[in-house]
Amino acid sequence: MTTVICPYCFARSSAAKLPYRCLMTPTGVRGGSPCGPERDDVWAGFMGPGVPPGARMRGPVFTPARKAGWRAGSGSSVPCPGCGVGTTTRVCGSCHNDLPSDYCDQDSRIIALVGAKASGKSTYVSVLVNELNHRVGQAYHASLAAMGQSTQVRDREMAEDLYERLRLPDATRPAALGFNDPLLYRLSLPRRSRLGSGTRHTALVFFDAAGEDLAGAEAMDRYTRYLSAADGIVLLVDPLQLGSVRDRLPVHDGPPLPVVETPPQQIAADLARQLRAHGKGGSRGRVATPIAVAVTKTDMLRPLLDPHSPVLRNAPHPDGTFDEDDRLAVHEEIRSLLTDWDSGALIRQLELDFAELSLFGLSALGAPPPAEAPADAPKSGPQPIRVEDPLLWLLARRGLLPVHRTTGKERGK
């Protein structure tokens, strides 16, 4: 029996027990009339006080009658008891958010995306999706499809802004201004087994917390259920937030350096505290949830890196496999850099708090924004480097990707 984790409130439920929402469509029967909208105070209460009265009126929610031998399957149309018209729209029983029908019938992986303000989370997601649809998808014979209207619309808008207008995405909206919808995707990968080939579908849920909501432990409490439900965390670290990096970079004509926000080691410590408080702490006091820590904007760090650094080129994907040796090389290099840059404060914090840790370096754009237009992408468009590495590591450790390694043991934990 499939267990569904709501990507909005993270409540768990059996797929077979989810309620449905009437779509209020015409019946097509002479004299028949469609259902009218009803107040959905459960949904409005979850969305917050900013929901206008008119938006609370939505299609009625109902639990279908269970008949002997009856079972709802993928895409099953269930008749509304009020009007008799079938609907495939299921909703979460706890928050009444609509769930894409294909989301309810497959395995899911919730990825928590965390980072201080100006660390580039929105740009990172937009570029990551594009790479998974093109270069990386081709390497793994994979496909990525947006699920649900909200994700499809946001996906299209982000792609048009970044790849057509060359405009960087707007900053993530703080929780105080309303609820940020998660991004839902269906990742399809080839499945190879002794019984033959096939396809494995996995739902990916990306939830992007605004930098303002990570300014302190109290604000981060809004995301406790999200963090505790996550299968893996991607923590983006902006190296330009580190004083030692800012001091070492040569004077340049590029965009101004960002305002210094919450120190990355404080964000890491708050993350660990939240996860321990929700039962994610291991027997030795370290958090069990795996965390991929990615130093962003590596294009700005070229003067500080060896010209032959693996961080400056995209990862190989030999025969559609995740290259573990390459990951270890990047992990060790980033660990050495972090130890040098801030006397090891961040890496010590991470290694003391998390049992499964891997370090990455990436650039979503491949070059800094133009100095005269810091809100624009480079004129050549995004030329990303290694944006896929953190996600692929999290998927590989879950057995969703084949792994290539020549070393005798795994060291990057």
User: Which amino acid does the sequence have at 108?
Assistant: S
Based on the fold, state whether residues 149 and 256 are members of the same structural domain. yes
Q: Do 314 and 217 sit in the same domain of this protein?
A: yes
- Phi, psi angles (nearest 5°) of residue 218: -65, -45
In this structure, the number of other CB atoms found within 10 A of the CB of residue 201 comes to 16
The SS3 assignment for 232 reads strand
Which DSSP string corresponds to 152-177?
Answer: HHHHHHHHIIIIIS-BPPPPPPPGGG
Residue (of 121, 82, 413) closest to 267 by Cα position: 121
User: What CATH number corresponds to the domain at position 382?
Assistant: 3.40.50.300
Distance CA 71, CA 306 (A): 60
Judgement on whether residues 244 and 173 belong to the same structural domain of the protein: yes
Cβ proximity of 238 and 118 under 8 Å: yes
Neighbours of 42 (CB within 10 A): 16
Closest among 137, 120, 138, 234 to 186, alpha carbons compared? 137
Q: Is residue 354 part of a domain?
A: yes
Q: Do 180 and 251 belong to one domain?
A: yes
Judgement on whether residues 392 and 253 belong to the same structural domain of the protein: yes
Helices (H), 8-147: 41-47, 121-133, 135-140
3-class DSSP state of 243 = helix
Amino acid at 372: E
Q: Does any domain span residue 161? A: yes
Question: What is the C-alpha separation between 355 and 370, in angstroms, rounded?
Answer: 40
Residue 362, φ and ψ in degrees, nearest 5:
-150, 160
In the listed set 68, 103, 138, which residue is the last one of a domain according to the structure?
103
- Cβ-proximal residues to 394 (8 Å cutoff; 6+ apart), any chain: 109, 111, 231, 232, 234, 290, 292
Q: What is the CA radius of gyration of the chain?
A: 23
Q: Are residues 23 and 172 in the same domain?
A: no
Q: Which pLDDT score, from 0 to 100, does residue 215 have? A: 53
- 19 and 162 in a single domain? The answer is no
Q: What is the pLDDT of residue 335?
A: 95
3-state SS, residue 373: coil
- Mapping DSSP onto H, E and C, the string for 112-130 reads EEEECCCCCHHHHHHHHHH
CA 38 distance to own-chain centroid: 33
User: Do 322 and 225 belong to one domain?
Assistant: yes
Q: Based on the domain organization, do 84 and 215 belong to the same domain?
A: no
pLDDT tens per residue, the chain (413 residues)? Answer: 678 889 888 888 888 889 999 999 887 666 678 899 999 999 999 888 888 989 999 999 999 877 544 455 555 789 999 998 999 999 999 999 999 878 887 788 888 888 776 667 788 989 999 999 999 999 999 999 998 888 899 889 988 999 999 998 766 554 444 446 788 999 999 887 665 578 888 889 887 665 555 555 555 555 677 778 888 999 999 898 888 888 888 876 666 777 777 788 888 888 888 888 877 877 678 999 999 999 999 998 998 999 999 999 999 999 999 999 999 999 999 999 999 988 788 999 999 999 999 999 999 999 888 877 777 888 888 999 999 999 999 999 988 899 998 865 444 44
Distance CA 162, CA 265 (A): 30
Does 410 fall in a domain? no
Q: 81, 103, 125 — which closes off a domain?
A: 103
Say if CB 267 and CB 214 are below 8 A apart: yes
Length of the chain: 413
Per-residue pLDDT of 343-381, as tens digits, reads 788 999 999 999 999 999 999 999 888 877 777 888 888
Tokens standing for residue 361: 């370096």
In a domain, 412, yes or no: no
Q: Which contacts of 400-404 are long-range, i.e. CB under 8 A and separated by 24 or more positions?
A: 400/109, 400/189, 400/200, 400/202, 401/140, 401/189, 401/321, 401/322, 402/192, 402/320, 402/321, 402/322, 403/321, 403/322, 403/324, 404/318, 404/319, 404/321, 404/322, 404/323, 404/324, 404/325
What is the sign, positive or negative, of the torsion defined by CA atoms of 253, 255, 256, 257? negative
Residues whose CB falls within 8 Å of the CB of residue 342, separated by 6 or more in sequence, listed in order: 242, 243, 244, 265
Q: Are residues 18 and 62 in the same domain?
A: yes
Number of domains in the chain: 2
Residues 125 and 95 in one domain: no
Assigned token pair, 66: 């269970």
CB 208 within 8 A of CB 126: no
309 in any annotated domain: yes
User: Of 72, 103, 134, which closes a domain?
Assistant: 103
Q: Do the domain assignments include residue 397? A: yes
Could you tell me if residue 155 is inside a domain?
A: yes
Which structural domain, as residue segments, surrounds residue 160? 106-404
Q: Rounded to an integer, what distance in angstroms lies between the CA atom of residue 303 and that of residue 121?
A: 24
Residues 123 and 86 grouped into a single domain: no
Element (H or E) spanning 93, and its range? none
What's the pLDDT at 247? 84
d(CA 317, CA 353): 31
Predicted pLDDT of residue 176: 44
Asked whether residue 413 is assigned to any structural domain, the reply reads no
Instruction: Give CA separation, 155 vs 19, 115, 129, 145, 368, in Å.
Output: 28, 20, 8, 10, 23
| Interstrand relation of 38-39 and 78-79 (parallel, antiparallel or unpaired) | unpaired
